[in-house]
Amino acid sequence: MQHTRGFRVGEYQSDGTELGRGATAIVYRGAHVSSREPVAIKVISLDIMHRQPKVFESLRKEISILSRANHPNIVRLYHYVRRWRERETAGESGR
């Protein structure tokens, strides 16, 4: 696992521990600030979205599907935040 400086996204705090990395995103370990419920925070660079427009459409579909999904084997999407430099999502952590 790689570590970076911790960061906060809305009501979620990451300690900077990288859980996974793909072609378009990095997923970090995090927790809800008040409940301490573990979550995964997915960070996607806007630079990638500008260079690869299909990534934005893919992300929109992923958010739409995950926001409706309710199954024990599918990560639940709790929150979606759009920021100036990146997009992040917070979902269940793979404990």
pLDDT tens for the chain, 95 residues long, are 666 789 998 899 999 999 999 888 899 999 999 999 999 998 887 778 778 888 888 888 988 999 999 999 988 888 887 764 444 455 555 54
| Contact (CB, 8 A) for 48 and 56 | no
Using alpha carbons only, give the angle 76, 45, 67 rounded to the nearest 5 degrees: 20
The answer to whether the pTM exceeds 0.85 is no
Using alpha carbons, select from 80, 37, 82 the residue that is nearest to residue 62: 80
pLDDT given at position 9: 86
